[in-house]
Structure 1
Amino acid sequence: MSLSAPPLPSAPVPDTTVRHLYVHVPFCPSICPYCDFHVLTRKSGQVEAYLERLETEAAWLASQYTVDLDTVYLGGGTPSFLRDAEITALVGSIRRHLGWGRQENTLEINPGTVSPARAALWKSLGFDRASVGVQSLDDATLKFLGRQHDAAGAREAVTTLIDAGLRVSGDLITAVPGQPLDSDIHGLVGLGVDHISAYTLTIEPGTEFARRGVTVQEDDERAGFERTEELLTAHGFARYEISNYARPGQQSRHNLAYWNNRTYLGLGPGAAGQYPALPGSKGLGVQGSEEGLAVPLTTRRTNPHLHTWLTGEQGEVEAINAEDYVTDALFMGLRLRTGVDLDDLSRRSGLDVRGRYAGAIAANVGRGWLELDGSWLRATPAGWWVLNRVVTDFLEA
Structure 2
Amino acid sequence: MRSVPPAFPAAAGAGVQEPALDPVVRHLYVHVPFCPSICPYCDFHVLTRRAGQVEAYLAQLEHEAAELASRYEVELDTVYLGGGTPSFLRDAELGALVDSVRRHLGWGRAENTLEVNPGTVSPARAALWRDLGFDRASVGVQSLNDATLKFLGRQHNAAGAREAVGTLIGAGLRVSGDLITAVPGQPLDADIHGLVELGVDHISAYTLTIEPGTEFARRGVTVHEDDERAGFERTEELLTAHGFARYEISNYARPGQESRHNLAYWQGRTYLGLGPGAAGHYPVAQGGAELTSRRTNPHLHGWLTGARGEAEPVGPEDYVTDALFMGLRLRRGVDLTDLSRRSGLNVPERYAGAIAANVQRGLLELDGSQLRATPQGWWLLNRVVTEFLEG
TM-score range, shorter chain: over 0.9
**2:336 aligned to 335, 338, 342, which one?**
342
Q: Give the TM-score normalised by the residue count of structure 2.
A: 0.95
Provide the residue aligned with 1:150 in structure 2: 157
| 1:62 and 2:72 aligned | no
Provide the residue aligned with 2:291 in structure 1: 297
Pairwise CA distance, 1:278: 1.8
Counterparts of 1:91 and 1:59, CA distance in 2: 13
Counterparts of 1:179 and 1:316, CA distance in 2: 42
**1:202 aligned to 189, 199, 209, which one?**
209
Amino acid at match of 1:316: E
Pairwise CA distance, 1:232: 0.1
Provide the residue aligned with 2:45 in structure 1: 38
**1:323 aligned to 317, 321, 327, which one?**
317
Counterparts of 2:378 and 2:133, CA distance in 1: 36
Counterparts of 1:35 and 1:79, CA distance in 2: 15
Counterparts of 2:276 and 2:137, CA distance in 1: 22
**2:189 aligned to 174, 182, 195, which one?**
182
| 1:272 and 2:279 aligned | yes
Amino acid at match of 2:154: R
Pairwise CA distance, 1:277: 1.2
Amino acid at match of 1:175: A
Counterparts of 1:257 and 1:246, CA distance in 2: 16
Counterparts of 2:85 and 2:141, CA distance in 1: 13
Provide the residue aligned with 1:236 in structure 2: 243
1:8-19 to structure 2, matched below 5 A, reads 11-19=18-26
Tell me, what secondary structure is at the counterpart of 1:316? Answer: coil
Amino acid at match of 1:337: R
Provide the residue aligned with 2:302 in structure 1: 308
1:247-258 to structure 2, matched below 5 A, reads 247-258=254-265
Provide the residue aligned with 2:89 in structure 1: 82
Pairwise CA distance, 1:36: 0.1
Pairwise CA distance, 1:11: 2.5
Pairwise CA distance, 1:14: 1.9
Q: Give the TM-score normalised by the residue count of structure 1.
A: 0.94
| Shift in alpha-carbon separation, 1:39–1:10, aligned structure 2, 3 A | closer
| 1:376 and 2:383 aligned | no
Pairwise CA distance, 1:256: 0.1
Counterparts of 1:60 and 1:24, CA distance in 2: 16
Tell me, what secondary structure is at the counterpart of 2:311? Answer: strand
Counterparts of 1:10 and 1:320, CA distance in 2: 14
Pairwise CA distance, 1:103: 0.3
Provide the residue aligned with 1:121 in structure 2: 128
| CA deviation vs aligned residue, 1:330-364 (integer Å, no higher than 9, x gap) | 00000000000100101111000000000000000
Counterparts of 2:18 and 2:312, CA distance in 1: 21
Counterparts of 1:11 and 1:295, CA distance in 2: 8
Provide the residue aligned with 1:5 in structure 2: none
| 1:354 and 2:361 aligned | no
Amino acid at match of 1:154: A
Amino acid at match of 2:372: R
| 1:392 and 2:374 aligned | no
| 1:218 and 2:212 aligned | no
Pairwise CA distance, 1:10: 5.4
Amino acid at match of 1:277: V
Provide the residue aligned with 1:112 in structure 2: 119
Question: Gaps spanning 5+ residues in structure 1: where?
Answer: 1-8, 280-285, 287-293
| CA deviation vs aligned residue, 1:175-202 (integer Å, no higher than 9, x gap) | 0000000000000000000000000000
How high is the sequence identity, in percent, across the aligned residues?
83
Q: Runs of 4 or more off by more than 3 Å in structure 1?
A: none
Tell me, what secondary structure is at the counterpart of 2:129? Answer: helix
Counterparts of 1:330 and 1:212, CA distance in 2: 35
Provide the residue aligned with 1:291 in structure 2: none
Counterparts of 2:338 and 2:78, CA distance in 1: 22
Pairwise CA distance, 1:93: 0.2
Amino acid at match of 2:377: G
Counterparts of 2:234 and 2:241, CA distance in 1: 11
Provide the residue aligned with 1:367 in structure 2: 361
Counterparts of 2:159 and 2:193, CA distance in 1: 15
Pairwise CA distance, 1:15: 2.6
Counterparts of 1:325 and 1:335, CA distance in 2: 16
Question: Gaps spanning 5+ residues in structure 2: where?
Answer: 1-15
Pairwise CA distance, 1:374: 1.0
Provide the residue aligned with 2:36 in structure 1: 29
Counterparts of 2:63 and 2:372, CA distance in 1: 41
Amino acid at match of 2:263: L
Number of matched pairs: 377
Counterparts of 1:199 and 1:389, CA distance in 2: 19
Tell me, what secondary structure is at the counterpart of 1:124? Answer: helix
Is residue 42–residue 214 contact of structure 2 (8 Å, CA) maintained in 1? Answer: yes
Pairwise CA distance, 1:272: 0.4
Counterparts of 1:200 and 1:99, CA distance in 2: 35
Is residue 17–residue 345 contact of structure 2 (8 Å, CA) maintained in 1? Answer: no
Provide the residue aligned with 1:261 in structure 2: 268
Counterparts of 2:185 and 2:86, CA distance in 1: 30
Is residue 19–residue 344 contact of structure 2 (8 Å, CA) maintained in 1? Answer: yes
